[in-house]
Structure 1
Amino acid sequence: MGPLYTFEGKTPVVHPRAWVAPTAAVIGDVEIGEEASIWYHCVLRGDTNIIRIGPRTNIQDGTIVHVNAGRQSTIIGADVTVGHAAIIHACRLEDRAFVGMGATVLDDAVIEAGGVLAAGSVLPPGKRIGVLELWMGNPAKLVRVLTEEARAGFDRTAPHYVELAGRHRSIS
């Protein structure tokens, strides 16, 4: 299990079937659900509010997850994919949300179930990506609503990362 740090009496809680890479840092009031995976060089800093990560969610390499002091937690649902080097700050990602590599989600923003934020995009404070919507750009804007068939490709990522985390567990 990667480094878990108690901060002001709050110790991260990691489900026994979750995996945290040995180079990740998980700090304070953070809970990580069953079969979730936190990859190499991620920082999850629940120092001034809570972070919750749902089952089978993958937070990929180099991602930063933080909160807004006393005002906004970060809540990430089940089967969510957060791509490499993303920034997730004081927001909510509902079940099956997908955040592309290098994307940023800012304070009070929401990505609803099955919503997608494209790689490199920035979702401004308070914006909401609706169910199955694809947004991209800086600032991110709605591009189109995905069909379930188009969304199915994104849905293969979470189970892949559950399996891959099991293989990485053997080297850490």
Structure 2
Amino acid sequence: MALIKSVRGFTPSIGKDTFLADNATIIGDVVLGEGCSVWFGTILRGDVNSIRIGNGVNIQDGSVLHTLYQKSTIEIEDDVSVGHNVTIHGAKICKGVLVGMGSVVLDHAVIGEGAIIAAGSVVLSHTQVEPWSIYAGVPAKFVKKVDPEQAKEMNQKIARNYHMYASWYE
């Protein structure tokens, strides 16, 4: 069973039809929407500030979400896929984004709608990633624009697949 822990008077809120892996850890001021999945070894640590996650979001194995005390929060909008071993620290991730495996997204960065962060990228603090674009590298830089319909189709397919995978564990 996932570890769900209250801290500083905040108890995580988990939306219906949300899968939490047995060793996922959800702490403090965390609100998870409906139809989400939080995979094995993932930590959502809302002990120092809030983490708000929309509907249909998947946060894959080994990822860590955290914030700065009184300085940054995490907001993840609907239908976002967060790849394996991603670190998100105090950033905003807009609707339909794909954050590739092993990426790091730092405080006050904003990842625009439908954007793709390539695997292994480091998005520095305060970076504004354009909607419908690919960013890659260390530090992450603009690579190219993507067709909004193609990106939306691909990113939604990944999000739907993770909802299906979660159903296998029920």
| Bucket of the pairwise TM-score, normalised by the shorter protein | over 0.9
Q: 1:153 matched to which residue of 2?
A: 154
The residue aligned with 1:98 is: 98
- 1:138 partner amino acid: V
Q: State TM-score, norm by structure 2.
A: 0.96
CA RMSD of aligned residues (A): 1.0
Within-5 A mapping of 1:45-56: 45-56=45-56
Q: Does 2:7 match 1:7?
A: yes
3-state SS of paired residue (1:120): coil
Matched residue type, 2:70: G
Provide the secondary structure at the position in 1 that maps to 2:168. helix
Q: Deviations over 1:84-142 (max 9, x none)?
A: 00000000001101100000000100101101110000000000111101000000000
Q: Are the aligned partners of 1:116 and 1:129 in contact in 2 as well (CA < 8 Å)?
A: no
CA separation in 2, counterparts of 1:102 and 1:31?
24
* Cα distance between partner residues in 1 of 2:27 and 2:7: 6
Aligned residue-pair number: 169
Asked if structure 1 preserves the Cα contact closer than 8 Å seen for 2:65 and 2:88, the reply is yes
Gaps of 5+ in 1: none
Please state how far the C-alpha of 1:153 moved relative to its aligned partner.
2.2
Residue 15 of structure 1 and its aligned partner are, at CA, apart by 1.0
Seq. identity, % = 37
> 2: CA distance between counterparts of 1:78 and 1:153?
15
For 1:149 and 1:93, the matched residues in 2 are separated by: 19
Q: Distance in 1 between matches of 2:33 and 2:149?
A: 27
Preserved CA contact (<8 Å) 1:105 1:123: yes
For residues 82 and 137 of structure 1, what CA distance do their matches in structure 2 show?
A: 17
Aligned-residue offset at 1:42: 0.2
One-letter identity of the residue aligned with 1:93: I
* Unaligned runs of at least 5 residues, structure 2: none
Number of the residue aligned with 1:16: 16
Amino acid across the alignment from 1:105: V
For residues 80-99 of structure 1, what are the structure 2 equivalents within 5 Å? 80-99=80-99
Paired letter, 1:153: M
Q: Distance in 2 between matches of 1:153 and 1:97?
A: 10
